[in-house]
Amino acid sequence: MYFSAWLIQLWTLFVPVMKTLPQNNYVSKHKVSCYVVLIIMTPFLVIFLLPAMLSDSNARRFKVSFRKGLLGE
């Protein structure tokens, strides 16, 4: 169950945000290394990200905040 929650969080929370980043951003230029970091760090955050995974409103808030954090806003 833990592994499936990890994969679902990567697919539903992080991948959509990574696809919406502008092309001139540092993260967009180095997508492979960013995905490697996400794959390594997300297993430690699975428990804390469960509310964002299970609720659409929390997921929307998380995605907006995560995107702002990646862009440095």
pLDDT of 1: 83
Rounded CA-CA distance 56/37 in Å is 25
pLDDT, tens only, 4-53: 888 888 888 888 888 888 888 888 788 888 888 888 888 888 888 888 88
Q: Which two tokens stand for residue 35?
A: 């995905």
pLDDT of 57: 93
pLDDT of 13: 83
pLDDT of 21: 84
Torsional class of 72: left (φ above 0), alpha (ψ -120 to 50), beta (otherwise): left
**Distinct helix (H) and strand (E) counts, the chain:** 6, 0
Rounded CA-CA distance 68/22 in Å is 12
pTM of the model: 0.77
pLDDT of 66: 86
